[in-house]
Amino acid sequence: MSGVYNWQLGREMAYPYEASYPERQFAFVFNTNRCIACQSCTMACKSTWTFSKGQEHMWWANVETKPYGGYPMFWDMKILQLLDRANPDGVKWTSAPSANRQGPYGTFEGRTIFEAERMLTPDSARVLGYLPTDEEWNSPNIYEDNPVGTRGKPGEYHKTGESLPEHKTWFFYLARICNHCQYPACLAACPRKAIYKRPEDGIVLIDQAECRGYRKCVEACPYKKSMYRGNTRVSEKCIGCYPRVEGKDPESGGVPLETRCMAACIGQIRMQGLVKLERDGTWAEDRQHPLYYLVHVAKVALPLYPQFGTEPNGYYIPPRWVPRPYLRQMFGPGVDAAIERYENPDRELTAVLQLFRKSSKIIFGYRIAEGPKTYEGTLRGRKVTLYNDTVIAYGRDGQELFRTTVDEPIHVRSNRHANSI
Amino acid sequence: MPYDDPDPSDPTVLVGVELPGDVETTRDMAWVFAEEFARLGFDAPRIAGLFRSPVYAGAHQARRVLGDTEVSAIIGECVRVFGSHARGDMTEGD
């Protein structure tokens, strides 16, 4: 085991390989407050990459209803349960979240999936994990919003519910793809070294020629985003739509494009980009990069289950209405401050949130041109002041991609079009 | 589809289990959905349609728990603050 620095945990951590970082890192921010589980992302991915025989159960992009749902079923509960057993004395985050980019969420005191040696079986195993059953893979979204139906009567649901007609509780929708982690568990576990992280953008890929389908990656990935394909007998995973990210998609005109799942998002919850890294793997200061701003300046976007230790590159703006203990478990100790800031956005955050989904081109920088005050009043007792600022997005070579305003004009297509909404 | 009925003694089977959450949580959720979609430019009838649709289970449940009057008031306040269309910027065309 080597010692690598995990900035999300604020400490050095054990990992099977020496640290090595890409020049830029594929990363994304999802705003869970906006997600309505329309599954457009899911279907965009499915129709692009996993429509073939043998991939029927494979959903590289999925949206699950929390707290009940999961694809595969119970994935996070099962890995959290294993981590609980690996940390019999409990885990905690010490020191308060701070402005320090080396440890913005404090320091995690507990074993990660790479540090749970005593739990590993057999002795040759490198990562704490489990292999989901076929049954857990094959029914995404079933019974997530509604309780179970009658056994043996497919498609028929209880009129009043077995015990509840529906889940009478809070829920929210968690959109997920591969996190293209800085310390991928799939890569760490592969006995054939068939998994690699690209030096140019940090996208994690499985070399299909090298893979022999041992499924160690499926077992190790705590997010369960590496999947086995029975008819080819090798594993597959999200490829970060790398031809688009490289700017080689025929429709890109040579400009880096966001992935298919991002581009298809009608709720405008998604933004994907490539962030600059320091030599030590932390994010290089890039003040006018929208992802850097959301993660390191505004701190409204947080990693998914940072305690796993893989340093995931998917960041989430947490849902505002969900009980805080659940959110702290899912997104770490930065939750309270993130929600506070998101609920009361300053002028810059309000403008940056307008960048989501105005273009499919990857944004490398932004600038805000101040506009007039358009509203001053209250919302639910909170003071609200709005300015109609203009936010301008720039691409890889500094060219302007688009500009939009906080008070965005709405255009409605006339009813004579068949596809009018 | 799961082949067996959920085993109530299995702690990972949460289906049908009530988790902590009260009407205040539902109210918060309704406010967030209304605010987010008002920010996106939806007008009041379109946001109300989202709450009416059983397809959007979260918003739909909030409407049934809180009632039409309260949800309409929530939508109204959000649109008043964030709805640029309410200030006359909406255009219709081809």
What per-residue confidence (pLDDT) applies to B53?
Answer: 87
Please give the Cα distance from A113 to A123 (Å, whole number). Answer: 15
Please state, in angstroms and rounded to a whole number, the distance separating the CA atoms of residues B33 and A270.
16
- For testing contact with chain B, the best of A164, A171, A321, A407 (most B CBs within 10 A): A321
- pTM of the predicted model as reported, rounded to 2 decimal places: 0.90
Average pLDDT, chain A: 91
Higher pLDDT, B24 or B87: B24
Measured CA to CA in angstroms, residue A29 lies from A93, A177, A270, A318 at distances of 23, 11, 6, 11
pLDDT recorded at residue A148: 57
Q: Output Rg (C-alpha) for chain A, integer angstroms.
A: 22
Q: Which residues from B are below 8 Å from A161, CB to CB?
A: 16
Q: Which CATH number fits domain A2-343: 3.30.420.40, 3.30.70.20, 3.30.70.520, 3.10.310.30?
A: 3.30.70.20
Strands A270-276 and A24-31: antiparallel
Among the partner residues A135, A148, A268, nearest to B15 by beta-carbon distance: A148
Give the distance from residue A211's alpha carbon to the nearest chain B alpha carbon, in angstroms: 29
pLDDT of residue A314: 98
Question: Using CA atoms, how far apart are residues B12 and A69, in angstroms rounded to an integer?
Answer: 11
pLDDT tens readout for residues A115-164: 987 777 776 688 999 999 988 898 788 767 665 555 666 666 555 444 44
pLDDT digits (tens, 9 = 90+) for A87-110: 999 889 998 888 888 999 999 999
Of A262, A35, A37, A28, residue with least CA distance to A140: A37
Q: pLDDT tens digits for B4-22?
A: 665 656 655 555 455 566 7
Cβ contacts of B40 on chain A, cutoff 8 Å: 34, 267-268
Q: Where are the beta strands (DSSP E) in A177-217?
A: 195-197, 204-206
Predicted confidence pLDDT, tens digits, chain A (421 residues): 789 999 999 999 999 999 999 999 999 999 999 998 889 999 999 999 999 999 999 999 999 988 878 999 889 999 999 999 999 998 899 988 888 889 999 999 999 999 987 777 776 688 999 999 988 898 788 767 665 555 666 666 555 444 444 555 678 999 999 999 999 999 999 999 999 999 999 999 999 999 999 999 999 999 999 999 999 999 999 999 999 999 999 888 899 999 999 999 988 999 999 999 999 999 999 999 999 999 999 999 999 999 999 999 999 999 998 889 999 999 999 999 999 999 999 999 999 999 999 999 999 999 999 999 988 999 998 899 999 999 999 999 999 999 999 987 777 777 776 665 5
Which B residues 15-74 touch A at CB under 8 Å?
15-16, 18-21, 25-26, 28-29, 31-33, 35-37, 39-41, 43, 50, 56-59, 61
Helix (H, G, I), strand (E, B) or coil at B46: helix
pLDDT in the model for residue A69: 84
Three-state SS at A378: strand
Q: What is the pLDDT of residue B1?
A: 40
User: Given CB atoms, is B81 within the 8 Å cutoff of chain A?
Assistant: yes
Is the Cβ pair B77, A380 closer than 8 Å? yes
Domain ranges of chain A: 2-343
Is the ipTM of this structure higher than 0.85? no
CA distance A19 to A197: 12
